Structure 1
Amino acid sequence: MSQNQTSPANGFVLANHDPANFSNEGINSETRTYFQDVRRRFMHNKIAMTSFIILLLIILVAFIGPFLLPTDPNAQNVVYANLPPKFGNLNLPGLNGMQDIGGKTVNAYQAAHVPNGTYYLFGTDYLGRDLFARILYGTRLSIIVALVATLLDLVIGVPYGIVSGLSSERVDTFMQRIIEIISSVPDLIVVILLLIVLKPGLTSIIIAIAFTGWVTMARLIRAQVFQLKTNEFVLASQTLGESKWKISLRHLVPNLSSTIIIQTMFSIPTAIFFEAFLSFIGIGIPAPNASLGTLMSDGQKAFHFLPYQMWIPAIILSLIMITTNLLGDGLRDAFDPESD
């Protein structure tokens, strides 16, 4: 048979393809998994990617900076107290070591007889401590508190929500009453009571923040489990006699991953802000250790005369809060298939 035939009516050439040729033809489309789609949607979100880069830089500087610049953040030198920021010998506005004293602009470093080559990028506080070193250590401490507290939220909230969602109505009701009792008491009161009972310090802050932080995670996981446990794959597993433990690990946890990741990203800034608030009011990280909250508290006392002592840690805290929330929004959109 000829591959091309001419229609007698209009003279058009009709192409007759051999059916065997269709086996070699296909649709050239890229197949992607669910998480590949998530990554693609996330990387196309410019705001989320920018927030991720800024947050990553802050974390890297906070954790690597103390090793590159091993300055003791608690070392005091009262002679160099309240020096303004200075960056080398560059005459940059705000970073040149100049300070208004008695209505006159003077070189604070020369007035304090600071040796040549010695300068403080963020200035010094009222005890002559290097603010740059203290902000590095303080940012790292605040991030550690938030990460560990959020990890405890996962360890407690995810299993609690899964157990509550898969259990009988009576057990679920009892577990939800416990959550309601914890939620009915303001977080600040719970934290203050825990800090009174526990010895003040980093461990006490983490336990106090995690004590009530897992409630939101547990509620979200329970709601998702109620939706998932009526699906066919869960019912089939139950019919085959699989235990609830295996069903949770094999079927529920993978399908809950998006909820867990998104809620975790929103829990981190909440924990950072709560720690900063506790330290700011004086019941958080004890002196002489520094966190973003204690640094803002110290800077607030001299804000009218030396505003940089409060502005710098406040800006860093704001950057962490904003970028983490925007990153959480980007992850939420990335995990939503309807966002395309």
Structure 2
Amino acid sequence: MPRSIQSTAAALDPLAAIARAPRSRGPLATAAWRFVRNRAAFAGFVVLMLIVIACVAGPWLLPNNPIDSDWSAISLPPTLQNMHWFGTDELGRDLLARTLQGGRVSLEVGLLGTLVSGLIGVAYGATAGYLGGRVDAVMMRIVDMMYAIPYMLIAILMMTMFGRAFYLVVLTISAFSWLDMARVVRGQTLSLRSREFIDAARAIGVSSGSIIARHIVPNLFGVVVVYASVTVPNIVLTESVLSFLGLGVQEPMTSWGVLIQDGAQKLESMPWLLLCPAVMLCVTLYCVNFVGDGLRDAFDPKDR
């Protein structure tokens, strides 16, 4: 192939453009360049995107419905018959379709819970760190008191009293998931508030709220992204534990935790009911952890 054609093809390749991004293009371009060069993180990202696409589009594209029963294939082990690749349960429902549907619910809980807890944690931690003094001391003592509350017992109590609706699962998990984010953001804010550009903003009369929103929070982007990638698997795992205990989402919705609970009860007779959703959950958590490690290394200023 001529060199001109090769150079044109390389220029049209977005991944190649990111990989060639020089460090002088800015922190985001440099972080993307470093992330792509991290093979484990980029491979985890690709596998994670494939899982997300499969969970979102799979239940609509598969010939088998996650709710309807195939009475001719009850308790069928994994087989190519009627495209029951993961087998069926005791009601003849396709396990592959149910696993993908459960993955959609688990990922929605993880992403929404991370979004809610991230917003609360960033706002709380940035406010405490910037104001400092007694306000910071009081706000962080509140965080310490909430750490002392047995989180899982409170979650079980709330789910028992108010039901197992989807939004309540998200709110219950998010109610305590923002504490670590608040501490991390507060520590970063303490170092940012003494920088020259913050002093300049104060000198020209910018209000504290505007400084936090326009100057503090944007400079926390890397830390928030990295810590959010750690929060997602924790929330997914927490939802799976609640569902395993019978306190998760209700039928006809399902999740990986619900499927694992059902499979654990029939482990001896139908082991595939436990193995398939458990493997999907483990692969997803590993991929998110790889992506989180890659983002941490990409945004680490010490390695630049």
User: Would you call these one fold, judging by a TM-score over 0.5?
Assistant: yes
Match of 2:164 among 156, 175, 200: 200
- Residue type of the partner of 2:65? D
Identity rate, percent: 35
- Residue type of the partner of 1:273? L
> Map of 1:1-150 to 2, 5 A cutoff?
31-69=24-62, 71-77=64-70, 80-87=73-80, 118-150=82-114
Question: TM-score, normalization: structure 1?
Answer: 0.80
Counterpart residue number, 2:232:
268
- Residue type of the partner of 2:124? Y
Closer/same/farther in 2, CA of residues 287 and 31 from structure 1, 3 Å limit: closer
- 2:200 and 2:156 mapped to 1: Cα distance? 48
Match of 2:296 among 332, 335, 340: 332
- Residue type of the partner of 1:198? F
**Which structure features the higher share of strand residues?**
1
- Residue type of the partner of 1:327? V
**Which structure features the higher share of helix residues?**
2
Question: TM-score, normalization: structure 2?
Answer: 0.89
| Deviation, structure 1 residue 293 | 0.5
> Map of 1:180-195 to 2, 5 A cutoff?
180-195=144-159
- 2:28 and 2:201 mapped to 1: Cα distance? 24
Are 1:153 and 2:146 an aligned pair?
no
- Residue type of the partner of 1:45? N
- 1:200 and 1:38 mapped to 2: Cα distance? 40
Are 1:318 and 2:282 an aligned pair?
yes
Kept in 1: contact 2:59–2:66 (CA 8 A): no
> Map of 1:161-240 to 2, 5 A cutoff?
161-240=125-204
Counterpart residue number, 1:115:
none
- Which ranges in structure 2 are unaligned for 5 or more consecutive residues? 1-21
Q: Which protein has the larger Cα radius of gyration, Structure 1 or Structure 2?
A: 1
Q: Which has the higher contact order (CA 8 A, sep 6+)?
A: 2
Counterpart residue number, 1:5:
none
Match of 2:273 among 309, 314, 317: 309
- Residue type of the partner of 2:250? P
Kept in 1: contact 2:160–2:247 (CA 8 A): no
Q: Secondary structure at the match of 2:250?
A: coil
Greater Cα offset, 74-83 or 57-66? 74-83
Kept in 1: contact 2:86–2:96 (CA 8 A): yes
- Residue type of the partner of 2:79? K
Match of 2:257 among 293, 309, 320: 293
- Which ranges in structure 1 are unaligned for 5 or more consecutive residues? 1-28, 89-117
- Residue type of the partner of 2:167? T
